[in-house]
Structure 1
């Protein structure tokens, strides 16, 4: 078939809007454009080098004014009823219909593609959640002022998939956009206010670089910061905000390497057509790696060569990018790869032809850390298991595309891949109803769906676990390196000598690798009550090795099987009730009645988690397209937990149950002040039917073990109760790879600390269960 000439693209409406603002866009604060005097500005140019407009760079005074406006906007917006907020968001759909052409053209001009129809779908979806918040999400309330930061090359969809749910839940929002998304974000903020959003509810601050997000986070009015974009900017933001007492979540969606897997049972023609579209024709946030089954490699290569005939060279951002592309191609060829190119590469300049690197080695730099440019590495596999191994080779875990007509094979592969989104016989399907979590290095939060709303809410009965403060002056290299207290021999006889406890690693009670012990003081604070092992980095390493061996098998067990093991653990705790209650009494100084009450609550809590195992398992999602969309909660992997001081037994079994019920393995560090109840619980674990290595308990210096957990690359999440220094250290350190953090700063002088552990409110279990899982969405299209 022959196609007629493509319609000429026009941006006249967007150009008129820019001309109306004299092509000099200011900040958007308190419902109006603001252009302060004596501010630096930066020019935005399109792909042809034409100047689009200039954008103001915000300074400290602008941040303060914006934060004050956002606080007032939050008061006005959160005071509205759910129906009133939903009505405003729904009105925006009509406004977008009137001005959709201007939005579309401006996105095209700035290369921040996001169609008005996509924005309308997002507004409709989140307006319904605004309506139903208090009905379906009872006892949750908004955080306050939310800061949404995106990097320069992030899409408008990635920006507003965070902005709209934050607004729908009743928060006010400060947007810190990248350069390509700044003009569309400013236009949309103007339209939002015009549709009835209270002034100050949505503000836009632009700056010279990504450091502006950290400066906004420093303001004490900020409640939460969420980021989308490149991994390096995410790391910089996390380090810059460490110790400020504000939670930061990250979606590292730029530059992720994602597998495009073609099985022999696939429709080869459709698969090749789509991989060309994905790899070479769309402006993409992710980099694709083509994985082809050996039996159909020749067929795929032949179709690739035919399909690439006549394709033109793609433009690179600079000559420096050309150098990187040439180096990546040369190294791939040296490792045995062959080239399929649409045309001959020009000798120099910022142009390069679409190129397939056939039979690339999995360890090749163009696979692990892809260079900019139109390069598509091609690797081969023989079996389904090998395909999953190749698919999981990437450190990013963002998404995957699977091509096969065998639905059973597609679902088995989708569940085995460690990625947040899986598209079957399709690619790059985005919809706000799809919950996507950051797997591996691709992030620490969930966006989309009902699950993505909880990052913008907190339980009504609790306050923030971190208090706003200025970062402490710390030498991160010396944190956790203090010497352990010395133990001086005494003259007591062996009959009255304090008892010595052991670790629990790999299913066995054992001494610490160092062989050293710490003295545990009684409630009065004098003398030695008992000795516990002084664990360190090698003990954590041994525990992680044991945990990663058993965790995949435990995760694949049926929910009912996991439930039975937890019920059995609760019975074991009941059988050892006298000894465990005695350890609580001796350690904490509580009366026997109070200790027995905590023990009874602990048994009940384990039974609650056993019952929880098979109650929440995801389901189907209401996509507007024809097909089936599924969501699955999955285990994080290995979780590190530094336990709180208060309610040492109850808090331990609560956190253990949350992690294990969701399919995780766990490494627990008992309270340094009250370790004996957790160490006595080892006797219960020894008699349980939990797989060896699933639960590990290592006692010792809290700071030293925190450092060991934070620096182990396998541990996906850390739940921490401890000092402000420890919280700041984790926020600064747990960036490579990114870890999901749940931090609580406990103060020894606070009497009410830990009161929540004894409450049986369902939100306690729900919140902990959400901390213990990550979400995967699977999209299966139909005709």
Structure 2
């Protein structure tokens, strides 16, 4: 503030106001830009290129002006630039992946040293680009992932790099987000194509220069800039093996739909504008908590929107301190004039709904500025709470009990992070366990370190960044077939899976011998399909073996309702108790091995010896997952700062599984065991071609001690049931083995509501009849386990 210099130290500590920010001339950044003539080209094949006759974009700040009178111009890449970039990345990947782990680690270590020379320029460029980032945090990232590059072959021996990874980061993200994806991708041996937002182009290109000087082979890191259409062109390139995106939910949904059917695995980190709870309990240090919420909610650059939840007994104290701390605070710059209109509309609606305002100063009449504003007394369903506009708004809610506080914390559709303030460690840990978010900070906020991952829940994404867990998005199991590249099919998404099933009497039907009728398994009970329809189960020779239920959307809804009732109780059981249930299930399967082998042989036509082998493998696989129940646990990583933190693998919730045609019993128990062992509930759709083994397995589930509703088995048309699973908002993940069209439909549909997906085309299964299942690599079982969990990091500072 202007008057700070005339105040004494005592006066400043009494008011706890912020001092004036240090001014910067950005000399190093301007010098670097002048070397490039203020025209930022592309970085392809180890050097800067400036293709002629390209459309350009002028980089401006939030007011629409050039950054601090420093004109920066980005080139819009064309199709030929993307093609050249892909060819360069493919060649770079071959050279980079063939290097030893030690040589890749040396490059990343040199990067840390080179970055220290460029730290001033990097910091100034980030400030000019309105995405400030600490150079020390980037150096820490480089050192951390250099260690993982050294240890990849030792600690992850059965995993291979994906190939060419496209990393897309929107302009409203922090620059740290690029590094958090680029460095682990390179450490695992991939080549990278970075597509930054326009404002982030300058620091991204400087990043490429730093890598080049550190000795990264040409083509391993490429940077292309351009308009919105560029992202789709890069992702659809035949050279791209994987795409990961960081940005807003709207942009992520649009990108996912554009890539549906191209066969490019995609992960989304949708942290921008995520709504996160800031919970203050009555046992908190109020002064520290209020200071923390002011810093978190009203700093100039932030990724998340905070909602302040205060225990009712502390309401007056918190409101009073907020008024004191906000006195004299300056207006906060908004991203644009349009955001100003959104903020004003949200404030007007909140006032109409009974909210009272706390503002640091009156709002200016015009311009992209708005004062820090607290909206007191809102109800949780208000739009200013669920979907607040980007700006310095802080909704303030109250709660009475701890349970009500946790409920408020989980009210948001996002699941990015939460901040808990209390001096009661037991309360803090219990609350951290109950919140459905990826990161929890106790008596702190926005603390990051690469050793602990950031994992989004629900609308915050399906991607994990950071830590060892974040490395696996850039790796594939060595022997697992990958989804083939393809072009999108002509598909009517609204009509997919809506064709009505028809019952047909098979040729040669003998009315004197009526096959048995089989029910499906929902909520621990046998039941018919809600539609009343049935399907024919035939042998390979065409003989009718049985009639099974033809399930549909209503059956899926019933199964989800049953799962939601029992899954929390199943999760609360100890891992040892879940292990005993799976051991008992394996024992029951062992006692009925002859019946199950006969069912497999009749359905698939394989020999009895092969059927017995599949049953034996199924018993062993269930026992494997039972053994893993109490062996897979979280970690407590060492931190470079004071305090403690731990990482917890948690269940996803309700998982929908569409099973393949190959090895019908073995694949069922393999996937069931992986999901249930970690505390999930599953809704399984057996093979449409070979459902009989799954139907007979229901009898084994009936006598098991697994609670009814944890496992449901619904028979019917694969497309119809896939469509029902995809459109149910309470299903958190879908594991799918099926057609190319089914994969395309799920990629298009499961971005809203967002689900975690594990997709496989039936063409992946080899001709030997499912060696993929009978002789899996160790990494395949680890992949199944990782697909069944989501990670939560909890930070507990000690100083």
Q: TM-score range by the shorter chain?
A: over 0.9
| Correspondence list, 1:369-388, <5 A | 369-388=387-406
Q: Counterpart of 1:496 in 2: which secondary structure?
A: coil
Which residue does the alignment assign to 1:686? 702
In the alignment, the residues of structure 2 paired with residue 445 and residue 319 of structure 1 have an alpha-carbon distance, to the nearest angstrom, of 32
2:427 alignment partner, one of 409, 431, 442: 409
Deviation at 1:373, TM superposition (A): 1.8
Structure 2 unmatched runs, 5+: 1-8, 13-17
| Correspondence list, 1:180-199, <5 A | 180-199=199-218
Which residue does the alignment assign to 1:504? 521
Deviation at 1:261, TM superposition (A): 0.3
In the alignment, the residues of structure 2 paired with residue 198 and residue 645 of structure 1 have an alpha-carbon distance, to the nearest angstrom, of 44
Q: Counterpart of 1:265 in 2: which secondary structure?
A: coil
Q: Counterpart of 2:795 in 1: which secondary structure?
A: strand
Which residue does the alignment assign to 1:277? 295
Which residue does the alignment assign to 1:303? 321
Q: Counterpart of 2:247 in 1: which secondary structure?
A: strand
**Bigger CA drift: 432-441 or 677-686?**
432-441
Q: Tell whether 2:537 aligns with 1:520.
A: yes
Whether the 8 Å contact between 2:663 and 2:769 is mirrored in structure 1 is no
In the alignment, the residues of structure 2 paired with residue 774 and residue 616 of structure 1 have an alpha-carbon distance, to the nearest angstrom, of 13
Deviation at 1:351, TM superposition (A): 2.6
In the alignment, the residues of structure 2 paired with residue 637 and residue 357 of structure 1 have an alpha-carbon distance, to the nearest angstrom, of 33
In the alignment, the residues of structure 2 paired with residue 490 and residue 640 of structure 1 have an alpha-carbon distance, to the nearest angstrom, of 35
Whether the 8 Å contact between 2:659 and 2:736 is mirrored in structure 1 is yes
Which residue does the alignment assign to 2:39? 24
Q: Counterpart of 1:668 in 2: which secondary structure?
A: strand
Deviations 1:461-509 (A, max 9, x none): 2231x10111111111111122323323889676621111110000001
Structure 1 unmatched runs, 5+: none
1:670 alignment partner, one of 686, 709, 726: 686
Which residue does the alignment assign to 2:487? 470
Which residue does the alignment assign to 1:71? 90
Q: Tell whether 2:794 aligns with 1:778.
A: yes
CA change 1:531–1:14 in 2 (3 A) is same
In the alignment, the residues of structure 1 paired with residue 594 and residue 176 of structure 2 have an alpha-carbon distance, to the nearest angstrom, of 57
Whether the 8 Å contact between 2:350 and 2:375 is mirrored in structure 1 is yes
Which residue does the alignment assign to 2:723? 707
In the alignment, the residues of structure 1 paired with residue 120 and residue 481 of structure 2 have an alpha-carbon distance, to the nearest angstrom, of 44
Deviation at 1:528, TM superposition (A): 2.3
1:136 alignment partner, one of 142, 147, 155: 155
| Correspondence list, 1:183-262, <5 A | 183-209=202-228, 211-262=229-280
In the alignment, the residues of structure 2 paired with residue 753 and residue 119 of structure 1 have an alpha-carbon distance, to the nearest angstrom, of 48
In the alignment, the residues of structure 1 paired with residue 244 and residue 337 of structure 2 have an alpha-carbon distance, to the nearest angstrom, of 33
In the alignment, the residues of structure 2 paired with residue 203 and residue 493 of structure 1 have an alpha-carbon distance, to the nearest angstrom, of 68
Which residue does the alignment assign to 1:356? 374
Deviation at 1:347, TM superposition (A): 3.8
Whether the 8 Å contact between 2:62 and 2:336 is mirrored in structure 1 is no
**Bigger CA drift: 316-325 or 254-263?**
316-325
In the alignment, the residues of structure 2 paired with residue 334 and residue 754 of structure 1 have an alpha-carbon distance, to the nearest angstrom, of 63
Whether the 8 Å contact between 1:746 and 1:753 is mirrored in structure 2 is no
Whether the 8 Å contact between 1:662 and 1:773 is mirrored in structure 2 is yes
Deviation at 1:326, TM superposition (A): 1.8
Whether the 8 Å contact between 2:590 and 2:619 is mirrored in structure 1 is yes
Which residue does the alignment assign to 2:671? 655
In the alignment, the residues of structure 1 paired with residue 601 and residue 367 of structure 2 have an alpha-carbon distance, to the nearest angstrom, of 76
Which residue does the alignment assign to 1:15? 30
**Bigger CA drift: 319-328 or 79-88?**
319-328
Whether the 8 Å contact between 1:637 and 1:665 is mirrored in structure 2 is yes
Q: Counterpart of 1:486 in 2: which secondary structure?
A: coil
1:422 alignment partner, one of 440, 449, 455: 440
Q: Counterpart of 2:242 in 1: which secondary structure?
A: strand
2:633 alignment partner, one of 617, 622, 625: 617
Whether the 8 Å contact between 1:747 and 1:753 is mirrored in structure 2 is no
Deviation at 1:180, TM superposition (A): 2.2
Whether the 8 Å contact between 2:765 and 2:772 is mirrored in structure 1 is no
Deviation at 1:222, TM superposition (A): 0.8
| Correspondence list, 1:624-773, <5 A | 624-747=640-763, 751-752=767-768, 754-759=770-775, 761-773=777-789
Deviations 1:245-302 (A, max 9, x none): 1100011010100000000001100000110011112410100000000001100000
Whether the 8 Å contact between 2:643 and 2:798 is mirrored in structure 1 is yes
CA change 1:415–1:97 in 2 (3 A) is same
**Bigger CA drift: 755-764 or 89-98?**
755-764
Whether the 8 Å contact between 2:201 and 2:225 is mirrored in structure 1 is yes
Deviation at 1:753, TM superposition (A): 5.3
Deviation at 1:79, TM superposition (A): 1.0
Relative to the length of structure 2, the TM-score reads: 0.96
Whether the 8 Å contact between 1:56 and 1:207 is mirrored in structure 2 is yes
Q: Find runs of 4+ consecutive structure 1 residues off by over 4 angstroms.
A: 2-6, 489-495
Deviation at 1:436, TM superposition (A): 2.2
In the alignment, the residues of structure 1 paired with residue 454 and residue 340 of structure 2 have an alpha-carbon distance, to the nearest angstrom, of 33
Whether the 8 Å contact between 2:161 and 2:188 is mirrored in structure 1 is yes
In the alignment, the residues of structure 1 paired with residue 583 and residue 287 of structure 2 have an alpha-carbon distance, to the nearest angstrom, of 52
Which residue does the alignment assign to 1:100? 119
Deviation at 1:216, TM superposition (A): 0.6
Q: Counterpart of 1:339 in 2: which secondary structure?
A: strand
Deviation at 1:325, TM superposition (A): 1.5
Whether the 8 Å contact between 2:297 and 2:305 is mirrored in structure 1 is yes
Whether the 8 Å contact between 2:506 and 2:544 is mirrored in structure 1 is no
1:174 alignment partner, one of 179, 187, 193: 193
Whether the 8 Å contact between 1:246 and 1:468 is mirrored in structure 2 is yes
In the alignment, the residues of structure 1 paired with residue 742 and residue 317 of structure 2 have an alpha-carbon distance, to the nearest angstrom, of 56
Relative to the length of structure 1, the TM-score reads: 0.98
1:333 alignment partner, one of 342, 351, 354: 351
Q: Counterpart of 1:681 in 2: which secondary structure?
A: helix
CA change 1:704–1:554 in 2 (3 A) is same
Deviations 1:162-195 (A, max 9, x none): 1100000000000000122211010010110111
Whether the 8 Å contact between 1:316 and 1:322 is mirrored in structure 2 is yes
Q: Tell whether 2:593 aligns with 1:577.
A: yes
Q: Counterpart of 1:441 in 2: which secondary structure?
A: coil
Which residue does the alignment assign to 2:3? none
In the alignment, the residues of structure 1 paired with residue 103 and residue 438 of structure 2 have an alpha-carbon distance, to the nearest angstrom, of 34
In the alignment, the residues of structure 2 paired with residue 64 and residue 760 of structure 1 have an alpha-carbon distance, to the nearest angstrom, of 36
In the alignment, the residues of structure 1 paired with residue 91 and residue 510 of structure 2 have an alpha-carbon distance, to the nearest angstrom, of 69
Whether the 8 Å contact between 2:305 and 2:390 is mirrored in structure 1 is no
